[in-house]
């Protein structure tokens, strides 16, 4: 009998951990939906999200997610992420679009990663922006773009064994079939709306990617 009780208590504890809250939506504008395993549902301000939830925005949607692990995410329109892991080891998988990340300084043993295709961007405490770029005809993957507003981000692309550090004010392009080039101080990093606190002003980023990345396209796609 004692053994059965012990097994029951362990099962309850594991179930509770699997359904633990990961964070909540602190800003919602336009079309925003959450999939917790039962299909896409319209999201509201204050909606609680859990680990493994998927979150997406529509053509005119913006959402800010405050995670309990000490990070905030802002999705622009036509974006989708999965909260793959949220805790001491936080991993966010980006399936489409673009996302701003603001990460509190990590303590020993804590990690934060943004993942997309074969890329992993890892930080200890910083503010950066990631986006899917152009997908060239005949290529299985899209180029990826990343820039840093504060701190430093280590970017690894396993498909080319590239490994670079991107510092504040710098941006990079991650090509589909070439090594990551040296980061540069692109002016488009200053054109993005980095604000994630609606009490301090507008949080929606209205920059057009093609316009904002004009200098990146000129230097890296020619």
CA atoms within 13 A on the CB side of 29: 14
Q: Is the pLDDT of residue 3 over 70?
A: no
The Cα–Cα gap between 95 and 200 comes to: 29
Mean local confidence (pLDDT), 156-173: 93
Number of domains in the chain: 1
User: What would the pLDDT profile of 96-107 be if each residue is shown by its tens digit?
Assistant: 999 999 998 877
List of long-range contacts for 52-56, beta carbons under 8 Å, 24+ apart: 52/82, 52/83, 52/84, 53/22, 53/82, 53/83, 54/80, 54/81, 54/82, 54/83, 54/95, 55/80, 55/81, 55/82, 55/83, 56/32, 56/80, 56/81, 56/96
- Mean residue pLDDT of the chain comes to 85
The pLDDT of residue 67 is 96
Q: In 10 A of CB 199, how many CB atoms?
A: 6
Q: Residue 19: pLDDT band by 50, 70, 90 thresholds? A: low
Q: How far is CA 135 from CA 51, 82, 140, 145, 155, in A?
A: 30, 21, 8, 12, 20
Phi, psi of 110 (to 5 degrees): -100, 140
Q: Residue 183: pLDDT band by 50, 70, 90 thresholds? A: very high
The domain that contains 55 carries what CATH number? 2.60.120.1440
The pLDDT of residue 216 is 58
Q: Which residues contact 10 (CB under 8 A, 6 or more apart)?
A: none
* Full domain range(s) for residue 188: 2-220
Greatest mean pLDDT among 16-30, 37-51, 137-151, 200-214 lies in 37-51
The pLDDT of residue 147 is 94
The Cα–Cα gap between 140 and 117 comes to: 10
Q: Which residues contact 122 (CB under 8 A, 6 or more apart)?
A: 111, 112, 113, 153, 154, 155, 156
User: What would the pLDDT profile of 194-207 be if each residue is shown by its tens digit?
Assistant: 999 999 999 999 88
The Cα–Cα gap between 96 and 58 comes to: 11
User: What would the pLDDT profile of 124-139 be if each residue is shown by its tens digit?
Assistant: 789 999 999 877 777 7
Greatest mean pLDDT among 11-15, 96-100, 131-135, 216-220 lies in 96-100
Q: Residue 219: pLDDT band by 50, 70, 90 thresholds? A: low
Q: Is the pLDDT of residue 9 over 80?
A: no
The Cα–Cα gap between 53 and 76 comes to: 18
pTM of structure = 0.86
The pLDDT of residue 148 is 95
Looking at per-residue pLDDT, the higher value among 138 and 214 belongs to 138
Of 75, 72, 69, 68, the C-alpha closest to 54 is 75
In degrees, to the nearest 5, what angle opens at C-alpha 198 toward C-alphas 90 and 79?
50
Q: Is the pLDDT of residue 86 over 80?
A: yes
Give the lowest-confidence range in 5-14, 50-59, 162-171, 209-218.
Answer: 5-14
Q: How far is CA 55 from CA 42, 81, 171, 216, in A?
A: 10, 6, 26, 29
């Amino acid at each position: 009998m004692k053994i059965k009780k012990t097994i029951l208590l362990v099962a309850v504890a594991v179930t509770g951990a699997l359904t633990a809250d990961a964070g909540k939506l602190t800003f919602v504008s336009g079309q925003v939906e959450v999939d917790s395993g039962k299909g896409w549902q319209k999201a509201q301000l204050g909606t609680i999200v859990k680990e493994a939830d998927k979150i997406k925005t529509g053509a005119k949607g913006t959402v800010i997610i405050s995670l309990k692990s000490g990070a905030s995410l802002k999705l622009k329109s036509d974006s989708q992420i999965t909260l793959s892991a949220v805790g001491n080891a936080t991993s966010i998988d980006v399936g489409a679009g673009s996302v701003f990340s603001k990460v509190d300084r990590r303590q020993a043993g804590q990690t934060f990663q943004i993942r997309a295709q074969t890329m992993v961007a890892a930080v200890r405490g910083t503010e950066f922006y990631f986006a899917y770029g152009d997908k060239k005809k005949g290529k299985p993957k899209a180029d990826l773009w990343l820039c840093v507003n504060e701190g430093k981000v280590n970017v690894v692309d396993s498909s080319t064994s590239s490994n670079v550090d991107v510092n504040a004010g710098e941006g990079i392009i991650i090509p589909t079939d070439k090594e990551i080039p040296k980061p540069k101080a692109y002016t488009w990093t200053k054109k993005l709306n980095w604000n994630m606190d609606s009490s301090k002003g507008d949080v929606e980023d209205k920059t057009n990617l093609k316009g904002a990345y004009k200098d990146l396209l000129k230097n890296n796609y020619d």
